[in-house]
């Protein structure tokens, strides 16, 4: 049985009179890819933002590894093992692949304030940057400027930067967005490889990919969960078919 890595309990987020999240509960287990689907504006990114600590929940709680982190800041949650990527690539385009990964790795090691020695001579962060770049398939591109990478490679780098922080939980917001078929396949293979040892929340619009790779799926409509379960159970759920899959799935 997989262990619980992250739990969001009755999470609500209101923007004035608009309820972006309405009592959403979700549990992510280590070794599982948990997909989050829903139409645009359903609250998927808001949920990721609340779970990662980027925005505060109006009510509800978040537990990471059994610890209540609801009041923790985003950096503190990140250091505790909660990594995330964004819908749009947030890499540092003028830095090399190595530098991007090294910078991300820097936060996880002690003494980030060391003023007196060059960061370029810091072996632990170098080692991590090499390892994670290889892991996502960018081992040959370590010294390329990130801005010159293809879109798919940038998304891979984004994942590498998450991995450099040594996360237990990965919140991936549309990692396949804008990718061609070949790049998508590469990313799916990468995500499948990351399943081992991580709990992954995958926000994605590509339904074929979601139903291929996800172990569990949660469906959001208007900020509320209308279904959650295995891909087969979600596919067969009449409410999901009506609200999201158009009744043709």
Partner 1 sequence: MSARAIRIAVFVAAALALALFPLVGGKFGVDFVTKMMVFAIFALSLELLVGQAGLVCFGQAAFFGIAAYATVLATPRTGAASVWWLLPAALGASGLFALFMGALSIRTRGVYFIMVTLAFSQMAYYVAHDTPLGGGTDGIYLDYTPALGIAGTPLLDLGKPWPFYYFVLAMLVAVFVFLGAILRSRFGHALAGIRVNEQRMRAAGFSTYPYKLAAFVLSGLVAGLAGFLFAVKDGFVNPELMGWNVSGTVLMMIILGGIGHLRGAVIGAFAFSLLEEFFKLDSVFGDFAKHWHLGVGLAIIACVAAMPHGIAGGRLRRATASNTEDAEVHRGKP
| Site residues, partner 1 (CB under 8 A) | 52, 54, 73-76, 78-79, 83-84, 86, 90-92, 94-96, 99, 102-104, 106-108, 111-120, 122, 143, 145, 161, 164-165
Q: How far is the CB of 170 from partner 1 (least distance, A)?
A: 11
| Smallest distance from partner 1 to CB 177, Å | 17
Minimum CB distance to partner 1 smaller for 126 or for 235: 126
Kindly state the smallest distance separating residue 138's Cβ from partner 1, in Å: 16
Task: Give the nearest distance from C-beta 153 to partner 1 in angstroms.
Answer: 16
Euclidean distance between CA atoms 99 and 31, whole angstroms: 29
State which residue, 86 or 244, has the beta carbon closest to partner 1.
Answer: 86
Distance between CA atoms of residues 136 and 189, nearest Å: 10
41 sits in the region (left: phi over 0; alpha: psi -120 to 50; else beta) called: left
Name which of 106 and 184 has its Cβ closer to partner 1: 106
In angstroms, what is the minimal distance from the CB of 188 to partner 1? 23
Cβ closest to partner 1, residue 122 vs residue 204: 122
Encode 215-232: b = buried (16+ Cβ within 10 Å), e = exposed. ebbbbbbebbbbbbeebe
- Pairs from 209-217 (Cβ < 8 Å, separation ≥ 24): 209/176, 209/184, 210/35, 210/37, 211/235, 212/188, 213/33, 213/35, 213/188, 214/33, 214/34, 214/35, 215/32, 215/33, 215/34, 216/32, 216/33, 216/34, 216/35, 217/34, 217/35, 217/36, 217/37
Closest CA to 219 of 52, 66, 24: 24
| Nearest CB to partner 1, comparing residues 114 and 232 | 114
Shortest reach from residue 9's CB to partner 1, in Å: 22
Pick between residue 64 and residue 226 the one whose CB is nearest to partner 1: 64
């Amino acid at each position: 049985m997989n262990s619980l890595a992250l739990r969001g309990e009755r999470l609500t987020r209101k923007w004035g009179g608009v309820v972006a999240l309405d009592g959403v509960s979700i549990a992510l287990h280590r070794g599982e890819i948990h997909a989050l689907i829903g139409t645009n504006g359903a609250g998927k990114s808001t949920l990721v933002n609340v779970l990662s600590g980027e925005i505060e929940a109006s009510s509800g709680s978040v537990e990471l590894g059994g610890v209540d982190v609801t009041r923790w800041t985003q950096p503190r949650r990140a250091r505790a093992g909660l990594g995330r990527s964004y819908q749009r690539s947030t890499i540092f385009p003028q830095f090399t692949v190595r530098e991007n990964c090294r910078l991300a790795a820097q936060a996880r090691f002690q003494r980030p304030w060391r003023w007196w020695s060059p960061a370029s001579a810091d072996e632990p962060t170098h080692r991590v940057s090499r390892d994670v770049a290889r892991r996502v398939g960018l081992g040959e591109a370590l010294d390329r400027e990130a801005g010159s990478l293809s879109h798919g490679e940038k998304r891979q780098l984004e994942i590498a930067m998450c991995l450099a922080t040594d996360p237990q939980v990965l919140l991936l917001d549309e990692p396949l967005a804008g990718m061609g078929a070949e790049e998508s396949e590469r990313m799916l293979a990468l995500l499948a490889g990351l399943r081992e040892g991580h709990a992954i929340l995958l926000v994605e619009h590509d339904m074929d990919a979601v139903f291929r790779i996800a172990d569990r799926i949660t469906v959001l409509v208007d900020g509320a969960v209308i279904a959650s379960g295995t891909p087969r159970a979600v596919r067969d759920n009449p409410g999901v078919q009506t609200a999201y899959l158009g009744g043709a799935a």
